[in-house]
Structure 1
Amino acid sequence: MCVELLTYADLSARLDISREAARSLARRRRLPRSRSEDGKALVSVDFSELRYTPLPTTRPPGRPDRCSLAKIEAVKIEAFKAEVARLEAVAAGNRADFERERERADRLAVELMQAAAKTAAADAWAARLEDEVALLRTGRQAGGAIAGHAARRLGHLAAAIVEADRAACR
């Protein structure tokens, strides 16, 4: 019967367990404890009576240990960083497309306003010509001949039509 005085660290090294497990074992077995001169706890252990075999560490199936969890988390973080970088690149591409389409829409809006102005001018010109034609029709004489004033108006109308046609061709 050989009794040894060991610290929890020494006991854990001899039994190949953690310091906390050695401390818990000393409490459960009610091993005598005392303090050393440096303030550390000493445990009186008789290894012939102890007969301690640590239980194998078992994990639930499919559950990794802490080291593996840290590696898995690091891999997930890197995957998330890569995904963020990919999404930022996609967003930059979409932003460029948006800017290009906005410039195109602005150009089309200007062209549409110009076309609307030309259409309004053409409508006004057509209304003026219709008024001229109406005046010429009312200015006819009974025999079907056109009076002098009406003939001048018809000449102006023909000139206006030719001018409008030239303007449309430009």
Structure 2
Amino acid sequence: MCVELLSYADLAARLAISREAARALARRRRLPRSRSGDGKALVSVDFSELRYVPRPRRGRRADPIAASMARIEAFKIEAFKAEIARLEAIAAGYRAVFERESERADRLAAELKQAAAETAAANERAARLEDEVADLRTGRRAGDSIAGQAANRLGRLAAAIVQADRAACR
């Protein structure tokens, strides 16, 4: 029968329990207590008689409302994750359409630039032909001879071709 004087912290360490559990055990077993010189409580313990086995901790009973709220929150989170995945898939589809249309717009812009250059060249040719036709009509290049009449006819024919070309371009 070996009695030891231990503080609550030492008793807790020896029994592998918390300090508060050691204090409650000393109160429950009505172990003799005293104060040390530095003011700490000391407990007289005979370990051969104590025979203490710590009980496993009992968990708190789950609050049914909190549990159902947790399930609802988990369900909401899963629903949000599914919605995010769905929206990301839609966004990926739109992104592919955007890229395809962007490439198409670039091709059309290049074609438009080329068409504008061809139109400018055609307008320049048409202006030269109109000048030549005007010269031929006024007779500046040809006299009243047969060659001049042929040149006038040729000028009228060229004017008709220019007008037909313009009508076809519109």
Q: TM-score, normalised to structure 1's length? A: 0.51
**Change in CA separation of 1:66 and 1:30 when aligned onto 2, cut-off 3 Å:** closer
Residues 23 and 156 of structure 1: CA distance in aligned 2, closer, same or farther (over 3 Å): same
> Following TM superposition, by how much is the alpha carbon of 1:74 offset from its aligned partner in structure 2, in angstroms?
5.0
Taking only aligned residues, the RMSD between alpha carbons, in angstroms, comes to 3.9
Where does residue 35 of structure 1 map in the other structure? 47
Which whole-Å CA distance do the structure 2 matches of 1:110 and 1:130 have between them? Answer: 30
Contact 2:133 2:156 (8 Å CA) reproduced: yes
Q: Which residue of 1 aligns with 2:62?
A: 67
Assess, with a 3 A threshold, how the Cα gap between structure 1 residues 110 and 82 changes in structure 2: closer, same or farther: same
Deviations 1:93-116 (A, max 9, x none): 121122123223322332333233
Q: Structure 2 unaligned segments of length 5 or more: list them.
A: 1-16, 32-44, 54-59
Letter in 2 for 1:91: E
1:78 Cα deviation (Å)? Answer: 3.7
Q: Please list, as runs of the form range in 1=range in 2, the aligned pairs for 1:20-169 lying within 5 A after superposition.
A: 23-28=22-27, 31-32=30-31, 33-36=45-48, 40-41=51-52, 67-68=62-63, 72-73=69-70, 75-139=72-136, 140-141=138-139, 147=148, 149=151, 152-163=154-165, 165-166=167-168, 168=169
Q: Secondary structure at the match of 1:41?
A: coil
Conserved 8 A contact 2:129-2:162:
no
Task: Report the Cα offset of residue 24 of structure 1.
Answer: 3.1
Output the TM-score relative to the length of structure 2: 0.51
Identity within the alignment, %? 13
Equivalenced residue count is: 125
Q: Unaligned regions of 5+ residues in structure 1, if any?
A: 1-18, 43-64
Cα 1:150–1:129, aligned 2, differ >3 Å: closer, same or farther? farther
